[in-house]
Amino acid sequence: MFLFPACSIATADASRPGATQCKIPFMKPPARLQSLIEEGLIDTVVRQLMSGKEATVYVVRRANETWCAKIYKEATQRSFRQAVDYTENRKVKNSRQARAMAKGTRFGREAAEAAWQSAEVDALYRLADAGVRVPKPHNFIEGVLLMELVTDAAGDAAPRLNDVTLEPAQARTHHATLLLEVVRMLCAGVVHGDLSEFNILLGVDGPVIIDLPQAVDAAGNQHAQRMLLRDVNNLRSFFGQFAPELLQTDYGHEIWDLYQRGLLSPEVTLSGRFTHKKGAVNVSGVLREIGDAQAEEAARRLRQQLPR
Ligand SMILES: Nc1ncnc2c1ncn2[C@@H]1O[C@H](COP(=O)(O)OP(=O)(O)O)[C@@H](O)[C@H]1O
Ligand SMILES: [Mg+2]
């Protein structure tokens, strides 16, 4: 991930009180955003924000609002996340598409590509409805997602959690907030699947969860439990650096257990403790090994564009 040092959003907006003039307020739009300008969906491209493994994100302006535009990379340029465990049980429009996707034909790959990209928009709407703090989607057109730009107190693009240092009390508060978000997501039937300090922004009103194209259906995906545990463990490891007592908690198993028993709700009080049954086979560990091997294989095929 490369962070582009450029003028801040505030400086690009000369109409803001106290804003200084940026030397290059607007950049030449990349080809994929040019057509959105021609159609009047956005006015200008301010700057490139990030170019990650899966997408390139730009700051754009429309009327007097600042949004961001996420342009998805082609499947061949992406990493492992379109692997089997994420796409399993993903809904497509018709059975012809499903068959083509299974065979790996060009039409199938295009259908898989479209399903992958629109999955993020679907998840954003679904999670916003469930009260989860995610960026507000504005539009999704020609493989470009236009959405709210999450900002910090100064109006600049918000930092990722990975870019900040926290006091122990802040770490505890954000950890608790994000666990509640994970619970809300699971109650809405969604597991993020790639939740970490790289996909959480620290906005002016608190943490905001981003980057959802790989979100999986909690009920229909056999890897959902493993992904939920991984997401929650990522939160524990990150916040545990600042508040070490968090490293002793086991919220992931507790949340999944309540979910499976139909007892999970956003009002639930979590203890952070979970008693594992003695002598039980470590099924989730075995499944994780199998799942990882499958994901690796799928990623390899994807890179080489082999039919499945
Ligand atoms: N809505 C947003 N507001 C502010 N910054 C964003 C937003 N969406 C993405 N970003 C920035 O762009 C980066 C890449 O976006 P992300 O959705 O995580 O794509 P990738 O799949 O490439 O990781 C993020 O780490 C974040 O810094
Ligand atoms: Mg990301």
Q: Catalogue all structural domains in the chain, each as residue range(s) with its CATH number.
A: 74-304 (1.10.510.10)
**Distance from Cα 211 to the centre of ligand 2, integer Å:** 5
Please indicate, yes or no, whether the overall pTM of this predicted structure exceeds 0.85: no
Residue 226 Cα to ligand 1 middle (Å): 24
Tell me if residue 23 falls in helix, strand or coil: coil
Amino acid of residue 218: A
User: pLDDT digits over 172-228, tens only?
Assistant: 999 999 999 999 999 999 999 999 999 999 999 999 999 999 999 999 999 999 999
Query: Cβ(230)–Cβ(199) under 8 Å?
Result: no
Q: pLDDT band at residue 303, thresholds of 50, 70 and 90?
A: low
pLDDT at 13: 43
Q: What is the pLDDT of residues 57-96, one digit of tens each?
A: 999 999 999 999 999 987 665 554 555 556 665 655 566 6
**Which atom belonging to ligand 1 lies closest to the Cα atom of 52?**
22
Nearest CA to ligand 1 atom 16: 211
User: 158 near 204, Cβ under 8 Å?
Assistant: yes
What does the pLDDT read at residue 280?
A: 62
Whole-number pLDDT of residue 169: 98
Q: Are 264 and 255 in contact (CB under 8 A)?
A: yes
Q: DSSP alpha helices (H): ranges in 28-94?
A: 31-38, 84-87
| Among candidate residues 15, 24, 26, 63, the one with its CA nearest the CA of residue 42 | 63
In this structure, the residue with its CA closest to atom 17 of ligand 1 is 211
Query: What is the rounded distance in angstroms from the CA atom of residue 268 to the CA atom of residue 265?
Result: 5
Beta strand 206-209 with 44-51 is unpaired
Please give the Cα distance from 200 to 165 (Å, whole number).
14
